[in-house]
Copies of this chain bind each other. A is one copy, B any other.
Amino acid sequence: MARRFRGSEEVKVDAKGRVSIPAKFRRVFEASDPDWQAGKRAQLVIVYGTRDWNWLQLFTIEAMEEIEDGIARMPRGSAARNLLENIYQGHADEAEIDGDGRLVLPQKLREKIGLTDSAFFISAGDSLKVWTPEAYAEEERALEARVPELEPGADPLSLLAPAAAKDEG
């Protein structure tokens, strides 16, 4: 089964903060949880990050282990390591997908990103980001604005070229 997320999805958030994890994403969480087996609940980690994050980031167990290993290889006490520990360990929660395929987002986290009745999931490699649909629409506009060299209508893959073509004969 795939170990990476692909695609995006919008789902309802009910009064209890439950969000149904779209099946295609759920499979990835299951496949990337070393302890998971059919019938059991897949574990995952919700990173809520520092005060300016207006999204949540859901990591598979394996992805989080990689991050933790990476952090562990950094010099103990270094500023960068402390910062990463602060985010990925200090501002993260363990969670699991319930028997109905849903994830319960605690009220605190819903409030942090302003989540009320709908949530937008979008793949980000080995993690899944959760936004309010409005916040994501905004983010998408901002994303484009951050790359002014891409003319409207141009093929985004043109951005790949400068990096790859250089050394070729």
Which positions in A face B, CB cutoff 8 Å?
Answer: 2, 6-8, 24, 45, 49-52, 67, 70-71, 73-74, 79-80, 82-94, 122-125, 140, 143-144, 146-147, 149-150, 152-153, 156-157, 159-160, 163-164
Contacts and interface: CB of A to CB of B under 8 A. Distances in A.
A87 B156 contact: yes
Which interface residue of A91, A144, A159, A163 has the most chain B CB atoms within 10 A? A159
Contacts of A6: 45, 89, 92-94
B8 A159 contact: no
B83 A143 contact: yes
B74 A163 contact: yes
A94 B2 contact: yes
A89 B123 contact: yes
Contacts of A94: 2, 6-7, 24
B91 A8 contact: yes
Nearest to A150: B83
Contacts of A163: 70, 73-74
Nearest to A156: B87
14 contacts: A7-B91, A7-B94, A8-B90, A8-B91, A67-B157, A71-B160, A73-B163, A79-B146, A79-B147, A82-B146, A83-B143, A83-B147, A84-B156, A85-B124
A135 to B, nearest CB: 14
Contacts of A160: 67, 70-71, 74, 84
Nearest to A81: B159
